[in-house]
Amino acid sequence: MKKHVIKAALLGAGTVGSGVYALAGMLSDEIGKKTGGRLEIKRIMVRDLKKKRDGIPPELLTDNWEEILNDDEIRLVIEVMGGVEPAKTYITQAVLSGKQVVSANKDLLAVHGQELLSLAEEREVDLQFEAAVAGAIPIIRPLKQSLSASLLTEIMGIVNGTTNYILTKMSEEGMSYEEALGEATKLGYAEADPTADVEGHDAARKIAIMASLAYNSTVVFSDVYTEGITKITAEDVRYAKEFGYVIKLVGIAALEDGQIGVRVHPMLIPEQHPLATVRDSFNAVFVHGEANDDAMFMGRGAGKMPTASAVMGDVIIVMRNILHDNCGFGGGVAYKHIPVKPMEETRSRFFLRLKVADRPGALANIAGVLGNNDVSIAQVVQKPSRGRVAELVIITGAVLERHFNDALMIVKGMSVVEEVSGIIRVYGE
């Protein structure tokens, strides 16, 4: 049987783009069997036509977007170029012209995702974006489909491989943050400028996208409270182990009191929690719903071929939709207007590490300040003094963020407190 040819344009031929092109060729027969059509990548848009790209025929390359936009044979645009602009303009124009779109662009979707999804729905075209979050891990489609009746109350994810690798090395090999970052850079996990990863911005974009889908309400990157891992020390890691925890950078979205609490920060996770076992550059997303209870998705969250596999999964879905005249029903458009909860109104437990004067009554005085601000103490360890200074490590009970901050401000000004050495949130009530 003769297969229908679906012609596509690929925007970007970098790491992911070259992976998509290679995988499309490798899966040619499979795509035909799974869709009833044949995929042909007709054009590949790049910034520099002179740059040699192994495995990509130079005759496919173009630097002219209009050439793609005005080509009626091209029915599918695959965007893997990254960044907000010009990607937003290209996707908008593609949708307006009736072309289907697959994107891996978390930067764009974390800010303008709902605008673009609404436009796609209005124009009855597909906009698929599984690869925008957690690489090869299927989480976008489950949130839109499989888990859509689960009444989700919490999503918690390790969604940045670089930071997870760093924290794994600090935990398992006793490395300092600087040593682990150097190792991650040498292996290619960390960019020359690792800011987006280590300051939590990459994870924040991903949790914004997941929160929007989980709660059918618009959450954008700027809504996400964000802390990175640059202040985590070997001492924090060591004390966490002593209490039975590991430290992970997590993104959290939770439905609380009719509001969406959404944040990214380091957290002490109990050693028995499934996320505590996620090592090295692996990613994982843990979800809890009233109907489904607990579920976890784990795998490679980035990389050339894992990301390409997620992109091509979307391509296969879009091809089926084209051939069965079923485009424009992808879901994901926010129809609720749930407010984002201010960070100061969220509740957490805290790990608090202090250097205090080694004299009678120091702990009692600190405990009194905490108690006067509704901060209870769940666990405490006092280490022997070095000279006249002792180290005090406290894990609090659950407390409102603003109450903890009020207490902390007073603690910092106490004469017995030499230094606040570490503050990390702790999982659980």
Task: Tell me, yes or no, whether 286 and 242 share the same domain.
Answer: yes
Task: Tell me, yes or no, whether 162 and 128 share the same domain.
Answer: no
At residue 248, the pLDDT reads 98
Task: Tell me, yes or no, whether 224 and 275 share the same domain.
Answer: yes
Phi, psi dihedral angles at 284 (to 5 degrees): -155, 145
Task: Tell me, yes or no, whether 286 and 207 share the same domain.
Answer: yes
Task: Tell me, yes or no, whether 310 and 253 share the same domain.
Answer: no
Residue 329 lies in a domain: no
Residue 330 lies in a domain: no
pLDDT-flagged residues of the chain (< 70): 1-3
At residue 66, the pLDDT reads 97
Task: Tell me, yes or no, whether 150 and 202 share the same domain.
Answer: yes
**Catalytic annotation, pick one of 106, 169, 206, 248:** 206
At residue 359, the pLDDT reads 85
Q: Nearest Cα to 305, choosing from 81, 46, 24, 108?
A: 24
3-state secondary structure at position 20:
helix
Q: Is the omega angle on the peptide bond into residue 274 within 30 degrees of 0, that is, cis?
A: no
Task: Tell me, yes or no, whether 42 and 189 share the same domain.
Answer: no
Residue 364 lies in a domain: yes
Domain of 412, in residue numbers? 343-426
Task: Tell me, yes or no, whether 70 and 126 share the same domain.
Answer: yes
Q: Which of 323, 354, 382 is the last residue of a domain?
A: 323
Nearest-angstrom CA–CA distance, 156 and 167: 17
CATH number at residue 245: 3.30.360.10
* 380 close to 390: Cβ distance less than 8 angstroms: no
Q: Which of 265, 300, 335 is the last residue of a domain?
A: 300
**To which residue do tokens 């929160």 refer?**
211
**To which residue do tokens 């901050």 refer?**
405
CATH number at residue 311: 3.40.50.720
Residue 337 lies in a domain: no
Residue 289 lies in a domain: yes
Task: Tell me, yes or no, whether 195 and 74 share the same domain.
Answer: no
Task: Tell me, yes or no, whether 20 and 51 share the same domain.
Answer: yes
At residue 1, the pLDDT reads 47
- Retrieve residue 100's tokens: 């289907």
**206 in catalytic set:** yes
pTM: 0.94
Domain count, the chain: 3
Task: Tell me, yes or no, whether 95 and 213 share the same domain.
Answer: no
Residue 234 lies in a domain: yes
Task: Tell me, yes or no, whether 72 and 209 share the same domain.
Answer: no
Residue 243 lies in a domain: yes
At residue 148, the pLDDT reads 86
CATH number at residue 412: 3.30.70.260
Nearest-angstrom CA–CA distance, 149 and 373: 40
Residue 331 lies in a domain: no
Between the CA of residue 214 and those of 24, 140, 257, 420, what are the distances in Å?
A: 30, 9, 16, 37
